[in-house]
Chains A and B, each alone.
Chain A
Amino acid sequence: MKKFVSAMLAATMALSLAACGSTADTSSEASESTSTAASTDSTAAESGATGEAASGTPIKLGGIGPITGATAVYGTAVKNGEELAVNEINAAAGYTVFDWKFEDDEGDAEKALNAYNTLKDWDMQVLVGPVTSTPSLSVGAETVNDNMFMLTPSASAEDVANCGDNVFQMCFTDPNQGKVSADYIADNALGTKIGVIYDSSDAYSTGIYDAFTTEAEAKGLEIVTAEAFNSDNKSDLSTQLAKCSDAGADLVFLPIYYTEASQILVAANKSGYEPTFFGCDGMDGILAVEGFDTSLAENLMMLCPFSAYGEDETTKTFVSAYEEAYGSTPNQFAADAYDCVYAIYQCVQAGKINGDMSASEICDALKTEFTTMSFGGTTGENQTWDASGMISKAPKVYVIKNGAYELAA
């Protein structure tokens, strides 16, 4: 009987939690919808004046990313970036341009496909996602069959864009990052003996590493050692760093995410080893790592399309709005997601797509539009896409000075 009581208690707890969750959600949704309703009222007069009908069927925008699991940090950033952009656009336009829904994929190919199917049942018309590479590959193949437009903010494996001509990327591909990094290091003579520490269990990290080694060889850079770790043994990376030190590396290339990179910087500080550290876009966010002494990141270089300390108007607006809404500094994941939504909005404004078109018609229209248009956002000006769906934008190298990003010379 005791067990029965405990089961009933568990059930009531679950129900009450569910109730809390749903009420909280509905109230926030309600406030959102009222705010959009209010703005509709205020702009109704204006639109009446211009004579342009400021309304239309909303376009159903779906997002997929990990909200739970090991990669939840990135998924949450993307979710926030998308949400912010959608809210801004809807408020500015005065009517609901985008209906937006975000589904969790736990960073897993199977769950990502489930999330995609759920969104399809919701009649999604454009997909902004998934966040990580493996889910994007499995969802990408499916979008090709459905002729659904897919724009991923951050899945950077080269194979993602190669899924089909309807799959586009907002971020650089991994090989591209590796190649550009090697070029930059060689051209600016940042180091002669190079050590690499990478995550061999991660597609992003190995993708950059492979291209980096190939290009480094071509450019005559000497890679003295390449040390790998994997997701199971990344709690202490001082061994890998010590090996770089022993090999006499004067530049350590870190094609890894910021959490692990922060550990390496701490270990380097402890052992007094002071090479130049060079990372890629996964490094963005290192200044926000909890409990990390940001002074250790001083002089860290990184190849990254986005800087939250940027001076241009778009970035400033985005960063302050994001900080206000979510209480943290946005990283490049959030910025890429924000840009994704605005890139699609640019096509809406150009009158190329609207909510009355089917997903397939929108896909065809967006395919032509994306390969011909130029887009300016928080991650760079004059961004263009080639027919395969890969982006081309100017790579920027930042160096951390006084706790902020500074464009490297």
Chain B
Amino acid sequence: MTTTKTDRTDAAAGILFIAFGLLFGVQSLGMELGTAFRMGPGYFPLVLSGVLILLGLAILIIAFKKVSATEMGGFAWRGMLFILPAPVFFGLTVRGLGFVPAIFLTTLIAGLASLKMKPQWALVLAFGVTVFSTLVFSYGLGLPFRRFGPWLPL
């Protein structure tokens, strides 16, 4: 006789899809649905949201009847803490600080995500990346970046 377990990974996936389905579905309801002849902006997304919720439910139900369950494993908390803010930081500062400081700090932030990266080497790496990308993108390709932005007292 086999006992059934709950696969928490799949259950979480099912819930996530249902949540997305609801998020999109509720917003679709707020739009004009239209007719089959002239479909409104809400028509197609509403149908898709419904399908997504159904798929999520199916995944959730099956998750409760698994013979074996798998574990999710650990999370890269440090990675998330430094990797994800890196592009955001670049976006927030590239116009204000300018390309050169923005790319330097972005690389530095990303570099801190690894435990293996010693701070002094992170600095060296950030410096190298900055020189390379400034030469290639700013001077070489002439991309319309300001090298040093108005936030700096230059």
> Do A and B come from the same complex?
no
